[in-house]
Amino acid sequence: MPDPAGQALVRGPDPQANVAEVLDVVAVGSALVDVIVRATEDDLSSLGLIKGSMSLVDRARAEAIGTGVQGSVERSGGSAANTVAGVASLGGSAGFVGKVVGDRLGEVFAKEIRASGVTFEPIGDRPGDERVGTGRCLVLVTEDAERTMATYLGASTTIEPADVPLDLVARSQVVYLEGYLWDLPPAIEAMRRAIEAGHEGGASVALSLSDPFCVQRHQHEFLELVHHDLDILFANEEELVGLFGASGFDAALGSAEETGLLVAATRGPKGSVVTTPHGSVAVEAQPVERVLDTTGAGDLYAAGFLYGLTHGADPARCAALGGLCAAEVISHFGARPEEDLRALAAARGLL
């Protein structure tokens, strides 16, 4: 798909080979059920959580935190899974690769992601998986709409290279990877297999940096991916600065431009900036009457951006679509869209 200068922004399978089989995006990520609760800053302090962060916890710790809060709502989640659900809501085609087990939360996840229109086939259980359980993310939302997450990855920790369905990955225009999974050595190898399969099939490969603390833990590995394996990078302002060890956002943006990648950097109410081989494009944020929960904002931004990219939009329109999807998801609780994103985008003249 060409950019205004005539160069391809995204690759993909030969559309003449088998049009019906091509998917816009196939994501590899953590299959989680979000357990969303309102919380105060005193709650966060008493639970030993750092506001605005994502902490990995074991099952016992997750259950302890869960019993310390009231009024939870369970919804299918996981960062990359949220993104492909958003792509589907826009009318795109998407698949998801992730691991659940046959417990109640696994059933919740599978039912909801399929209902969103995403292709998902659970990876078969192995002996002992029932003791691990499906992963869950405890999302504590404070009055200022900031979210603090305590994540028990559960079955996501058991995904390995053999679990990656190469036929599904080979059908994609974009293979989208979740940075959170770099905390798990077997999952790293699974994602490297997906990168290889994607490139062999002609797909572009995209990575979401996921979280500033994740960038701190894996800066070297992420930079290696940037320089050798990626075509598209998603990050927020803090993540981009951390990735390049820059003094500020402008310096980080300069480093991003030097990579030659298509980089989409979100800046909250300041909107986003997209770097291309031909310069940077700044796009204003979409207005939001009231921000209730920022969970999923980056995930849905990536959804809108990738939908635009795989349907011929230029970088500015991709970023505008991303901003619109992010604005919708932060206007309510939960990390999946509640409105019809395609109808919303059409009404704004973005499709």
The 10s digit of each residue's pLDDT in 259-289 is 999 999 999 999 999 997 778 999 999 999 8
Q: Per the domain annotation, does 61 fall within a domain?
A: no
Residue type, 229: D
Residue at 164 is within a domain? yes
Q: Mean pLDDT of all residues in the chain?
A: 89
- What CATH number is associated with residue 208? 3.40.1190.20
Per residue in 88-105, pLDDT (tens digit) is: 999 999 999 999 998 888
What amino acid occupies position 27?
A: A
Residue 149 counted as domain residue? no
Tally of domains in the chain: 1
4-13, 280-289, 305-314, 325-334, range with the lowest pLDDT: 4-13
CB atoms within 10 A of CB 227: 11
Instruction: Judge whether residue 18 has pLDDT over 50.
Output: no
CA torsion sign for 349, 317, 209, 112 is: positive
Of 171, 198, 191, 178, the closest CA to residue 94 belongs to 171
Asked whether residue 91 is assigned to any structural domain, the reply reads yes
Give me the pLDDT at residue 114, please: 95
Tens digit of pLDDT for each residue in 207-258?
999 989 899 999 999 999 999 999 999 999 999 999 999 999 999 999 999 9
31-35, 42-46, 304-308 — most confident range: 304-308
pLDDT at 204: 97
Residue 8, in any domain of the structure: no
According to the 3-state scheme, what is the secondary structure of the chain? Answer: CECCCCCECCCCCCCCCCHHHCEEEEEECCCEEEEEEECCHHHHHHHCCCCCCEEECCHHHHHHHHHCCCCCEEEEECHHHHHHHHHHHCCCCEEEECCCCCCHHHHHHHHHHHHCCCECCCCCCCCCHHHHCEEEEEEEECCCCCEEEEEEEEHHHHCCHHHCCHHHHHCEEEEEEEHHHHHCHHHHHHHHHHHHHHHHCCCEEEEECCCHHHHHHHHHHHHHHHHHCCCEEEEEHHHHHHHHCCCCHHHHHHHHHHHCCEEEEECHHHCEEEEECCEEEEECCCCCCCCCCCCCHHHHHHHHHHHHHCCCCCHHHHHHHHHHHHHHHCCCCCCCCCCCHHHHHHHCCCC
Question: Taking 60 as the threshold, does the pLDDT of residue 14 lie above it?
Answer: no
Structure-token pair, residue 260 = 């030659």
Decide if pLDDT at 56 tops 90.
Answer: no
β 73-77/32-38 pair status: antiparallel
Instruction: Give a yes or no: residue 40 inside a domain.
Output: no
Rounded CA separation 264/10 (Å): 14
CB of 36 closer than 8 Å to CB of 73: yes
Tokens, residue 39:
């919380």
Mean pLDDT of 122-149: 83
Length of the chain: 351
Verdict on whether the full-model pTM lies above 0.85: yes
Res 10: pLDDT: 65
Q: Order of strands across the sheet with 262-266? A: 94-97, 23-28, 172-178, 204-208, 232-236, 262-266, 272-276, 279-283
What sign for the dihedral angle of Cα 46, 50, 51, 55? Answer: negative
Q: What is the pLDDT of residue 85?
A: 96
**Of 27-41, 86-100, 118-132, minimum mean pLDDT range:** 118-132
Neighbours of 334 (CB within 10 A): 21
- By CB atoms closer than 10 A (0-12, 13-18, 19+), residue 242 is buried
Which domain does 251 fall in, by range? 19-31+78-131+154-347
Percent of the chain at pLDDT > 70 equals 92
* Cα 13–Cα 159–Cα 165 angle in degrees, nearest 5: 25
CA-based radius of gyration for the chain: 19
The tens digit of pLDDT for each residue in 187-211 reads 999 999 999 999 999 999 999 999 8
Determine, yes or no, domain membership for 97.
Answer: yes
Burial 159-172 (b: 16+ CB within 10 A, else e): bbeebbbeebbbbb
Q: Is residue 119 part of a domain?
A: yes
